[in-house]
Amino acid sequence: MMNDVIIAGGGLAGLFNALQLNRAGLRVTVVEKKSYPFHRVCGEYISKEILPFLNQLGINVFSLGASHIKRLEVTATSGTIFSQKLDLGGFGISRYAFDDYLYKLCQTEGVSFLLDTRVDDIRFTNNGFEVVLPHRILTAPLVIGAFGKRSNLDSKLKRPFFLRHSPYVGIKIHARIDFPDDLIQLNSFKNGYCGVSKVEDGRFCICSLAHRNDLREQGSLEAFQENIINRNPYQKEVFRNAELLMDKPEVINEISFEKKQPVENHILMSGDTAGMIAPLCGNGMTMAIHSAKILSAIIIQYYYPGKPFTAPARAALEQTYRQAWNQQFARRLWVGRQLQHLFGNNRLMHTAIQMMNKMPPMANWMVKQTHGKPLA
């Protein structure tokens, strides 16, 4: 089959791009290195700003059991706590369930998938792409990079962030715990923090960002949890009677929050591949979906199936996407990088929470900077 678009990566950004482009009449193939359903390291919280867009697509996350998140708490190891009602609120749903649902929806509607398949390289030549797989080469006029936080493809493209080592490690587990259904809690500890919120089926997502040196010093995840994470009394209470629901945590190394480019070697990057917001901002899944909405609309604007895709049209598409990406996300990402410095520093976190309690307007401003307006 001739492809109009090949998407490298089948996470939220990849799947939402595939769904929209397929519905616009483009021939789409998604290449994903795993098979659905599977877990991903993710905080599994989505701002309700995305609900109007999901409704337009005919997607009802609450029919999948998504939880309603209405409140935010931020805590420090000192025991200080900040609480706030979320204006729009959010919902919790696991990537295990949501990605699998989207995969089946895309497949039913005609999107092609190559699962358990690694993309070894993406080459731009003669105004088109060759996507190199282990035993074959696919070609297409357009390629979307949706391969997540960190990939061998980032190395192939010599992306600057990949060449600089990051000390951050992501760790996610699902558990049954005694915890409010409508709360997302961010608990700071030395050099990191942990987010806790409900997803579907009575499960709670517990997702931490930690420093690799602390993990190495402790020697095991169990020791790290006991001696580092549990120094935050709120997080210690979360783990006290937790019934773990996964055989082992999902772990990803070298998570980078450095600035990335939305277009690299003519590949159109989407989701975390284009830029990753600090997890404490709790909105990475929302940004991945929103970025797919933006990118798909621009592709549909400039690319017409069956007609030659000229170099000037490609240049215009890429420039339009760069501008749209930066206009929508550049400030959010910058704010996220600044807030990132607070978490993990026990003294600064204690002071920041005290300030937020004394100055609620400042706290409201910080939350709004990492969220957007409802997507029409």
pLDDT tens-digit readout, 88-104: 889 999 999 999 999 99
What pLDDT digit, counting tens, does each position of 300-337 carry?
999 999 899 999 999 999 999 999 988 888 777 666 66
Least confident of 241-245, 254-258, 313-317: 254-258
Band the pLDDT of 340: cuts 50, 70, 90. low
Over 90: is that where the pLDDT of 161 sits? no
Between β-strands 67-75 and 183-189, what pairing exists: parallel, antiparallel or unpaired? parallel
Rounded (10°) CA dihedral 22, 25, 31, 35: 40
* Chain mean pLDDT for the chain: 90
d(C-alpha 267, C-alpha 24), whole Å: 20
Over 70: is that where the pLDDT of 277 sits? no
Band the pLDDT of 40: cuts 50, 70, 90. very high
More confident residue, 339 or 3: 3
More confident residue, 289 or 364: 289
More confident residue, 374 or 25: 25
Over 60: is that where the pLDDT of 282 sits? no
End-to-end CA distance of the chain: 34
Band the pLDDT of 8: cuts 50, 70, 90. very high
Least confident of 80-84, 254-258, 265-269, 309-313: 254-258
Interval 278-284 mean pLDDT: 61
Least confident of 75-84, 98-107, 278-287: 278-287
Instruction: Give every CB contact of residue 262 below 8 A, 6+ residues apart in sequence.
Output: 268, 269, 274, 275, 321, 322, 325, 326
Interval 23-44 mean pLDDT: 96
Looking at residue 165, its pLDDT comes to 82
Over 80: is that where the pLDDT of 230 sits? yes
Query: Which of 281, 370, 287, 274 shows the shortest CA–CA distance to 322?
Result: 274
Over 90: is that where the pLDDT of 174 sits? yes
Angle CA 192–248–114, to nearest 5: 100
Looking at residue 370, its pLDDT comes to 59
Using an 8 Å Cβ cutoff, are 156 and 145 in contact? no
Looking at residue 326, its pLDDT comes to 87
Q: What is the DSSP letter of 77?
A: T
Between β-strands 128-132 and 121-125, what pairing exists: parallel, antiparallel or unpaired? antiparallel
Looking at residue 241, its pLDDT comes to 85
Looking at residue 366, its pLDDT comes to 65
Over 60: is that where the pLDDT of 136 sits? yes
Query: Which of 196, 227, 16, 242 shows the shortest CA–CA distance to 111?
Result: 16
Query: Which of 194, 95, 166 shows the shortest CA–CA distance to 337?
Result: 166
Looking at residue 372, its pLDDT comes to 59
Q: How many CB atoms lie within 10 A of CB 125?
A: 8
d(C-alpha 305, C-alpha 172), whole Å: 41
Looking at residue 323, its pLDDT comes to 95
d(C-alpha 295, C-alpha 172), whole Å: 29
Q: In what order do the strands lie in the sheet with 142-145?
A: 112-114, 28-31, 5-8, 142-145, 267-269, 263-264
Identity of residue 130: E
Q: Which run of H or of E encompasses 316?
A: helix 311-340
Using an 8 Å Cβ cutoff, are 67 and 199 in contact? yes
Looking at residue 168, its pLDDT comes to 86
Q: Say what percent of the chain tops pLDDT 70.
A: 91
- Assigned token pair, 146: 């949706």
Cis peptide upstream of residue 37 (ω within 30 degrees of 0):
yes
Looking at residue 368, its pLDDT comes to 63
Domains detected in the chain: 5-369 (3.50.50.60)
What is the value of pTM for the model shown? 0.92
